[in-house]
A = this chain, B = another copy of it.
Amino acid sequence: VLRDEPNDKLGDDAHALAAKLWPINRSLTGEGVRKTLEILKGILPELTVHAVPTGYKAFDWDVPQEWRVQEAYVETPDGKVICDWKTNNLHLVGYSTAVDANVTRAELETNLHSLPAQPTAIPYVTSYYAENWGFCLPDEHRSELVNGTYRVCIDAEHFDGELNYADLVIPGESSEEIVFSTYVCHPSMANNELSGPVVATALAGEISQMKHRKFSYRFIFVPETIGSLVYLSKNLQHLKHNTRAGFVLTCVGDENGFSYMPSRNGGTLADRCALKALRDNAPDFQTYSYRQRGSDERQYCSPGIDLPFCSVMKSKYGCFPEYHTSLDDLSFVTPKGLGDSIAMHLKIIAMLEKNGTPKSRTMGEPQLGKRGLYSNLSYKGSAVDHSLIMDILGYADGTRDLIQLAEFLDADFTRVAEIADLLVRHDLIEIS
């Protein structure tokens, strides 16, 4: 039986895992991704780590070189070390080239990034596809820089290596799969993106403990964009054939309200489950358009790929002030925030497992009285609404699945599914 309520223990564990992953310097490729996947494999032993070499062609893209950093900092004219990568890996522009030089303050400034509107935040900047170097720092520190000669040191190298990713399949009764995808390429930020991998880990743990699984469950941990493209290039036919519903896990850790990003044209089973779970459990959620997309649904839902993926997030990427700064930290992402997302996705999983299309097994209304279903009826300790029983029977014509029926009857899915179970046990309906 799946849990129905937010689970503090799950949120606590997820937050602790995020704290463990926090300091690792992740990038599209390299040691950071490998260390991250190794830690996850410690929790999910069935996780398989894969690699493709630098230069591997994934559709229109090429896997870039690995990037290895030993140290990176700036020394001020008075000998103080600032922007030290070892204290916060956001200080270094991602994928920076090596530098060892003395520069004037003016020369330095052309390679600095800060946010005047958020003077305490270190911004997150990368330059994956153009050669460049730079440092990021709080604007309040940048404004204190004095004229003079600065020493700039970036001990980094780019070299042919590999791109790593991992997946895990938890088998069920059917080979049809529910897929969760998340990404492991962001350095020290919490909502975007440690929340995705830790929630994915929690869900995989829960699912593996389910006594019965109608579906198989696939978890994908990849670097964003290039990683999902590599994954699709390796697994497209399998995914197209087997995927019943997919979800991108991103930005699932803060305590703001839920957000929903549909698949390209909406209306897939994934979308319907996400919307019904949100309507039932967090009706004030925010709906976005696919035109506002920005995560790996850009690949999963692209023309030709056409997989049924949507996203259920807390604060959507790009829509919260902490986004892509050092303020997106482990105080912004909380055990409660993570726990809420875990619980919401467990609701979705339960819905997928329970869903089906009911069809009446009688002609005309059945006689509920002789089955003790007519009145004073209670089930699982709570009174069950007689009119809801009658409506589930009355509309069980094989044209609406339980999600559609619950939407149509403006009723909680859990309630509808419980009654449907009861009616199946009394042989009044069948569910296909």
Contact = CB atoms under 8 A, between A and B. Distances in A.
Interface of A: 58-61, 129-130, 225, 228-229, 232-233, 236, 264, 290-291, 293, 298-299, 302-306, 359-360, 362-367, 369-370, 387, 391, 394-398, 409
B298 A363 contact: no
B264 A394 contact: yes
A224 to B, nearest CB: 11
A394 B293 contact: yes
Contacts of A363: 59-60, 232-233, 236, 302, 304-305
B362 A59 contact: yes
Nearest to A375: B130
A394 B302 contact: yes
B304 A61 contact: no
A112 B84 CA distance: 87
A381 B129 CA distance: 25
A20 to B, nearest CB: 32
Contacts of A395: 264, 303
A303 B369 contact: no
A360 to B, nearest CB: 4
A60 B362 contact: yes
B264 A360 contact: no
Nearest to A391: B291
A425 to B, nearest CB: 16
Nearest to A233: B363
A395 B290 CA distance: 10
Contact of A364 (B58, B387, B398, B409): B58
A82 to B, nearest CB: 29
24 contacts: A58-B364, A59-B362, A59-B364, A60-B362, A60-B363, A60-B367, A61-B367, A130-B369, A225-B365, A232-B363, A264-B394, A264-B395, A264-B397, A291-B387, A291-B409, A298-B364, A298-B365, A299-B364, A302-B360, A302-B364, A303-B360, A303-B394, A305-B363, A305-B364
Contacts of A387: 291
A360 B225 contact: no
Nearest to A408: B291
Contacts of A366: 60
B129 A369 contact: yes
Chain B CB within 10 A, most for which of A59, A228, A398:
A59
A150 to B, nearest CB: 28
A359 B394 contact: no
A77 B363 CA distance: 51
Given A129-B370, A369-B130, A370-B129, A364 B60 contact: yes
Contacts of A228: 364
A232 B367 CA distance: 16
- Give me the 10 closest cross-chain CB pairs, A-B, nearest first: A303-B397, A303-B360, A60-B366, A59-B363, A299-B364, A129-B369, A304-B363, A60-B362, A229-B364, A59-B364
Given A59-B363, A60-B364, A229-B364, 5 more contacts: A59-B362, A236-B363, A291-B409, A302-B360, A303-B395
A273 to B, nearest CB: 23
Contacts of A302: 360, 363-365, 394
A61 B387 CA distance: 20
Contact of A304 (B229, B291, B362): B362
A298 B367 CA distance: 12
Contacts of A397: 264, 303-304, 306
A228 B366 CA distance: 13
Contacts of A293: 394
A296 to B, nearest CB: 10
B264 A364 contact: no
Nearest to A298: B365
A342 B405 CA distance: 37
A299 B59 contact: no
A366 B365 CA distance: 54
A58 B363 CA distance: 9
